Amino acid sequence: MEKVVVTGLGVVSSIGIGVEKFFESLKQGKNGISRISLFDPSLHSVQIAGEVKDFNPEDYVDKKDVKRLDRVQQFAFAAAKGAIEDSGLLFEKENTERIGVYVTSGVGGIRSIEDQVKVYYDRGPDRVSPFLITQLIIDAIPAYIAIKYGLKGDTLAAVAACASSGKTIGEAFYAIQRGDLDVVIAGGADAAITPVGVAAFASMRALSKRNDAPEKASRPFDKNRDGFVMGEGASILILESLSHAKSRGAKIYAELAGYGTSVDAYHITAPDPSGKQVERSMLMALQKAGLTVNDVDYINAHGTSTPLNDKNETFAIKEVFGDRAYKIPVSSTKSMVGHLLGASSALESVATVLTINNGIIFPTTNYEEADPDCDLDYVPNVAREFNVKVALKNSFGFGGHNITLLYKKFED
């Protein structure tokens, strides 16, 4: 089977647009969470989020397309464009029937849905936008990228709630391993910081209500965590077969070597407290990579900052790694950017790849008081130099989805 390598990265996030700015912000432990400005949140119980600031879609998308695309599609294309440029791919020199676009979202074009529902009730059915359907469907995200670049290999938008982009990256990994494709533009985007989006998650009591201290609200594994913080943005990884990457002299960030997936079949929102399927997901990724628990140097956690999720993930890690769990650094990127829903796994995969490539583990910020149920090394508050050779990236989602990706240092 073909080895799969990462040759390009693209990011749109609340702590930086572009991989360089994202990397510098992660190193500094910069926080991207603030009071919501995309709408007036004064009537909401939750008034904070990780918004992407200073994003001008016309810097990335044709002017005529801006109004035809939802914000989530604009983010996705901007991240894809950045990743493609970073990879050095020249599509005019490639067989575009061997290049796929696997990009997804957790909730799709929710902003457009909200806007057009209001149009319907205020102005009538004949005034609803003809672009609404293509703004809201998730499959339009990879389709737009494929159309703009003329990529005919395949498109996919696998949906697995907050594990969606992890699932999509995993399926891209399989497609390249099988030899179906040479290159896949893989990742995810979400832009659900809208009045109804925030209200819906808040009504589930899933969100932090630290409105008075936004930058302190996302605190994975900390004893006083009270819920996750919504984020938005997009991340793309360019995945290639090793043979294709070498044939064009591409720079290689890391190898994607394993993919594990399972489902709790327990509850539509709550994780299974036994952690058995999370354990199986991690072990499957290791098995696919031909590695063991003794090879893992670092875990980029799902780490949402919710009481149940962080406790259960910690428990599962200890069940898989035993006493060695206490020697493995574990950190959560969500402490800085919030939870990007379906895009979170892609963004955190970029962070994981940067960790491997640069020898720096990014911190879990806002970690102030230890929780007896969360007693691992969470790399609190300050980045750490560390030679990471093998890293696991965990992602979980409503519906009991569990995804683990395994990235490793590339060795030719």
How far is it, in rounded angstroms, from Cα 227 to Cα 205?
8
**CB under 8 Å to 100, separation ≥6 — which residues?**
151, 153, 154, 155, 156, 172, 175, 180, 181, 183, 184, 185
Q: How far apart are CA 311 and CA 266, in angstroms?
A: 17
Tell me how far apart the alpha carbons of residues 285 and 258 are, in angstroms, rounded to a whole number. 4
Answer whether 303's CB lies under 8 Å from 313's CB: yes
Q: Among residues 165, 145, 163, which one has the least CA distance to residue 154? A: 145
Cα torsion angle, 93, 97, 103, 107, sign: positive
The C-alpha angle with vertex 46 and arms to 351 and 370, in degrees rounded to 5, equals 55
CB 348 within 8 A of CB 333: yes
Mapping DSSP to helix (H, G, I), strand (E, B) and coil, where does residue 241 land? strand
Tell me the HSE value of 395 on the side-chain side, using a 13 A CA sphere.
35
> CB neighbours (10 Å) of residue 27?
15
Q: How far, in Å, CA of 29 to CA of 334, rounded?
A: 11
Residues annotated as catalytic are: 162, 302, 339
CB atoms under 10 Å from CB of 209, counted, come to: 15
What are the φ and ψ backbone dihedral angles of 404, each rounded to 5 degrees? Answer: -130, 125
Closest CA to 151 of 172, 130, 174: 172
The neighbouring-strand residues paired with 263 are 401
Rg (CA), the chain: 20
